[in-house]
A = this chain, B = another copy of it.
């Protein structure tokens, strides 16, 4: 009642183990009769190959592990779809390991749970230094996406520039500024990308001598944007103002809450987010956009190059932000149409 192996199949089919292997791997030059008998035996015994043994032999797994902070957002869906698309031509599969919360994160770091049976590792939105105190416990190709590091291949977005771009737009509207920042809790760091965005924003503000009249903090999920907006309303603020949120998700969450208070983006206050998401476009919200799919595609290319061994020098690609101006930052409000 133990799991059948190639040898069991071989015996049952009356052939050698190597013939079984050849049939299973579609080798040429196999007699029809042998093939038929092997397949019949496989069927009868319910044989399934042992992937660990196969990988041990071949030195390959056919999978690429992806370490990412979470999955429940359109951003990661788009990003990973693009990576996937670029990879499946070469028959690689993506295995996702969301770090969902501090607990899991700790396990990763401490117990050294080297769980990736994979040929390469894609680290998304995270710094390897943060993940692993010292050297990566992984001697296969590593590529960073939406993050960067001096010692690793990386595909990233110019978040400081994006932050500056956003701040410039905000300043140009000459309204009191409210900053919707990300929260830093114990064990719940925002991704480095957010910190860089914030850095770009603050740098520009301080250079112009401007201080936000209020800074709110929210965890990076659209639902938390609502909570922050509640705080804002509770603070007794009155429009008009310029709400600069560090992500589209946060901005959208906040705008929904503000709408319930009767304030509409582009009419009562101005609103700007980051990422250039589809939802931002649909909601008529301005955004500092990043080319998410392109970045995913670039990551796939880099992974393939690294796997092919043709990557002796460090590849570091940085994508530039672009501004998507829509109704939510309409300049008319500035002119005091209210």
Contact = CB atoms under 8 A, between A and B. Distances in A.
A139 B46 contact: yes
Interface stretch (A29-37, A113-121, A144-152): A113-121
A278 to B, nearest CB: 6
A76 B96 CA distance: 13
Nearest to A70: B77
A108 B70 CA distance: 24
A210 interface: no
B223 A278 contact: yes
Given A49-B114, A117-B117, A139-B3, A98 B96 contact: yes
A61 B74 CA distance: 31
Range of interface residues on chain A?
35 or more
A103 B81 CA distance: 11
A286 interface: no
A73 B114 CA distance: 28
Interface in A257-304: 257, 278-279, 282-283
A56 B50 contact: yes
A88 interface: yes
Nearest to A135: B46
Contact of A114 (B48, B101, B111, B278): B48
A256 B278 contact: no
B48 A56 contact: no
Contacts of A133: none
Nearest to A96: B96
A53 to B, nearest CB: 5
Given A48-B114, A223-B278, A223-B282, A96 B95 contact: yes
A137 interface: yes
Given A3-B139, A88-B103, A282-B226, A71 B62 contact: no
A332 interface: no
Contacts of A117: 51-52, 55, 61, 63, 117
Contacts of A84: 100, 104
Interface in A58-77: 61-63, 65, 70-74, 76-77
B93 A113 contact: yes
B81 A76 contact: no
Nearest to A57: B52
Name the 4 nearest CB pairs between A and B, nearest first: A72-B77, A96-B96, A52-B55, A71-B71
10 contacts: A50-B56, A52-B61, A65-B95, A72-B72, A80-B98, A88-B103, A95-B95, A96-B97, A222-B279, A257-B282
